[in-house]
Amino acid sequence: MALGKYRTKRRFKKTPEPFGKLTGSSDSNFVIQKHNASHLHYDFRLQMEGVLKSWAIPKKPTLDPKIKRLAVQVEDHPLEYINFEGVIPEGNYGAGTVEIWDKGKYKFLDNKNLESGHLTFLLKGKKLKGEFALVKIQKIKGENYWLFIKANDEFSREKKFSEEPVKNEKEVFWLKGGKLDLSSLPPKDIKMAKPMMTTLVHEPFDSPDWLYEIKWDGYRALALIKNGSVELISRNQLSLNKRFPELVSSLKKLSIDCILDGEITVLNDKGYPDFHLIQDYSKTKEGNLIYYVFDVLNISGKNCEVLPLTKRKQILDEILTDLPYLKKSEFIEKEGKRFFEIAKINNIEGIIAKKKDSLYHEGVRSKDWLKIKALTQQEVVVGGFTKPKNGRKYFGSLLVGIFEKDKFRFIGGVGTGFTEKDLEMFYSKLRQKIIKDSPFGNFNRLPNSTWVAPDIVIEIRYQELTKDKMLRQAVFLGLREDKNPNEVTFEDAEINKSKF
């Protein structure tokens, strides 16, 4: 058959399977690959004539001589396929997981000619040992049907094999692109974690040692995937599963246990993140829901946090398959200034600069990850509200503040940016939070005001801050249920661009 049929069936830009080449190698290797495709089967392959002669066996091979297994001869595979394990993505021929179930050496006992329709050979594998035969029975509907038979010898037995695949010499993980060796990484349980955080700087910069990503305007979330279950966790350690069941369903289709870090966003009809849309998405389903993944903390109980960022990005390329609602957050290198200008032109919140060799530090605000804002946005905590005026219902402005050294400081009012739906929703929340005295340490007198417990976090955009850090022309953007109010404070730019 050579390799023409094998190559015709596959799109090598979409599948991790090897393209392969014909070779004159005279080795006598065999492999059995457990292939969990549309139907589970076992692919038996013998190295012959520079290729792997191949048969698909619908049921697990056995050492019991009384059992004859059907084997359907399929297209020849390249010799490189003998070590292939991985995930063939959906939409490709043979989509599913491939694992090496057994491998080893073989030796023909008589005729080596397939045309004879009868092959006998000795197998020396981890599971299959002793004499076997392949006997051709008939050709039906263009298929070559054979029987795979175990001879009665010292290795014969009736006991069934376990489903465990053959362990490789090194601890490896089989992903979309093939083998990824993580044997040198320390073990770590897949469990609740806190995301690494950024440090604010004033200006963008260029550097070959850094890469640059979009600062997505949404909910930061870790995805914990283990044993087929998924937990989406906000930065405030709240579950987001019920709010975004579409993401949970999509993440369940990933073929490996892992912890991912990313931002949940909803894009508007122009393709830009819209924070208003994400708040109501669970009810309205308006906009394009995307989980932009930018990091991986763990794979199959191995700690990826100790790897440099560039390596973790390579791992993401392997494990993120083409699934709905999931995308890798792309990046550029070197040109931070130009990337920042593009963000400003497109009204994007800002960019994130990350050092290429940075490790992942859980729960730490690191100077290896920097945030450069193109828009002046800030999280604030609601501490009160004023009475409505001029025909508005529910309330006039929200009185907001931030925490400084455990004290809640008033920084201004937010009176615009609300829809009628926002006003009604907020008022129902505010009524449950009403308290007698002002929660602000620096502000307790305002006519027609009502105080509330400082539990509600919102996102605002503002024109500027005064010298004493009071807001000017603040506009409401959305509710931040994913944020802990006690952690809301002003971020001061800590690093000057000359440091890079």
Shared domain for 425 and 478, answered yes or no, is: yes
pTM for the model: 0.60
Report the alpha-carbon distance of residue 316 to residue 328 in Å, rounded: 7
pLDDT at position 24, please? Answer: 66
pLDDT at position 110, please? Answer: 81
pLDDT at position 497, please? Answer: 45
Q: Under a CB-based contact definition with an 8 Å cutoff, are residues 387 and 447 in contact?
A: no
Q: Is residue 498 part of a domain?
A: no
Shared domain for 20 and 155, answered yes or no, is: yes
Shared domain for 284 and 347, answered yes or no, is: yes
Q: DSSP per residue over 395-421, as a string?
A: -S-EEEEEEETTEEEEEEEE-BS--HH
Q: Under a CB-based contact definition with an 8 Å cutoff, are residues 258 and 231 in contact?
A: no
Shared domain for 30 and 78, answered yes or no, is: yes
Instruction: Specify whether 105 is catalytic.
Output: no
pLDDT at position 175, please? Answer: 47
10-residue mean pLDDT series, the chain (500 residues): 86 87 78 90 94 94 93 94 86 88 92 85 94 86 86 84 50 51 80 92 93 93 93 91 94 90 93 85 91 95 91 87 90 94 88 95 93 88 91 91 89 90 90 92 80 92 83 88 85 53
Q: Under a CB-based contact definition with an 8 Å cutoff, are residues 132 and 155 in contact?
A: no
**Which of 373, 408, 433 corresponds to the end of one domain?**
373
Tokens of 178: 């093939």
Q: Is residue 177 part of a domain?
A: no
Which of 243, 458, 177, 212 is CA-nearest to residue 356?
A: 212
**Which of 167, 189, 206 corresponds to the end of one domain?**
167
CATH of the domain at 294: 3.30.470.30
pLDDT at position 161, please? Answer: 62
Q: Is residue 496 part of a domain?
A: no
Amino acid found at 36: N
Strands 471-472, 407-414: pairing is unpaired
Shared domain for 348 and 208, answered yes or no, is: yes
- Residue tagged active-site, from 103, 127, 215, 302: 215
Shared domain for 133 and 214, answered yes or no, is: no
Q: Is residue 172 part of a domain?
A: no
Report the alpha-carbon distance of residue 99 to residue 173 in Å, rounded: 10
Which of 201, 500, 206, 498 is CA-nearest to residue 339?
A: 206
Report the alpha-carbon distance of residue 369 to residue 315 in Å, rounded: 19
Shared domain for 137 and 45, answered yes or no, is: yes
Q: Classify residue 485 by its DSSP letter.
A: G
* Total of domains in the chain: 3
CATH of the domain at 392: 2.40.50.140
Which residues lie below 8 Å from residue 405, measured CB to CB, with a gap of 6+?
Answer: none
Report the alpha-carbon distance of residue 116 to residue 120 in Å, rounded: 11
Shared domain for 271 and 158, answered yes or no, is: no
**Which of 120, 146, 167 corresponds to the end of one domain?**
167
Shared domain for 158 and 214, answered yes or no, is: no
Please list, residue by residue across 162-192, b when 16 or more beta carbons sit within 10 angstroms of its beta carbon and e when fewer do: eeebbeeeeebbbbbebbbebeebeebebee
Amino acid found at 496: N
Q: Is residue 102 part of a domain?
A: yes
Shared domain for 326 and 457, answered yes or no, is: no
Shared domain for 88 and 210, answered yes or no, is: no
pLDDT at position 192, please? Answer: 87
Shared domain for 369 and 381, answered yes or no, is: no
pLDDT at position 494, please? Answer: 56
Report the alpha-carbon distance of residue 346 to residue 342 in Å, rounded: 6
Q: Which residue range(s) make up the domain with 263?
A: 197-373
| Kind plus residue range of the DSSP H or E element containing 344 | helix 336-345
Report the alpha-carbon distance of residue 492 to residue 500 in Å, rounded: 18
Q: Is residue 492 part of a domain?
A: no
Q: Is residue 495 part of a domain?
A: no
Q: What are phi and psi of 95, to 5 degrees?
A: -55, 130
Q: Under a CB-based contact definition with an 8 Å cutoff, are residues 444 and 459 in contact?
A: no
pLDDT at position 180, please? Answer: 60
Q: Is residue 471 part of a domain?
A: yes
